[in-house]
């Protein structure tokens, strides 16, 4: 009977102390801050990727439009679409019968301009 009494915890030994609870809450808080910080970085990364995708789509659309136009009507110009400005330059190499087309897009959310280049030949 004495062995059973020694195994049972005394009233002063049961439960958690306030110090243990405070340490556990501190560790949980630090972990949650790390998760929220990572979530914030992911949101910013997705926003930047969205702007890059939109800018590249605009550049590609303009480049395809210029490539589909007749050779003699392809000239330099500028334009805007939404919050983006689009500029394209055309360099003609008359002796070789081709034009170098460069499309540049600048706009909100882009840290630097996006540029696509292509060659249009005279067939």
Element (H, E) at 28: helix 18-68
The pLDDT of residue 95:
82
The pLDDT of residue 77:
95
Could you tell me the domains of the chain? 17-121 (3.30.1300)
User: What is the mean pLDDT, run by run of 10 residues, along the chain of 123 residues?
Assistant: 59 77 94 89 92 94 94 93 94 88 92 93 83
The pLDDT of residue 10:
61
Element (H, E) at 47: helix 18-68
The pLDDT of residue 16:
80
Does the predicted model carry a pTM greater than 0.75?
no
The pLDDT of residue 2:
60
């Amino acid at each position: 009977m004495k062995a059973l009494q020694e195994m049972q915890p005394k009233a002063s030994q049961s439960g958690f102390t306030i110090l243990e609870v405070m340490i556990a809450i501190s560790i949980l808080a630090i972990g949650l801050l790390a998760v929220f910080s990572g979530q914030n970085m992911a949101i910013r990364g997705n926003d930047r990727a969205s702007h890059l995708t939109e800018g590249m789509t605009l550049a590609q659309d303009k480049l395809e439009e210029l490539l589909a136009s007749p050779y003699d009507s392809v000239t330099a110009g500028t334009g805007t679409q939404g919050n983006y400005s689009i500029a394209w330059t055309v360099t003609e190499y008359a002796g070789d019968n081709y034009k170098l087309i460069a499309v540049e897009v600048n706009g909100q959310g882009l840290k630097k301009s996006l540029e696509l280049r292509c060659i249009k030949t005279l067939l």
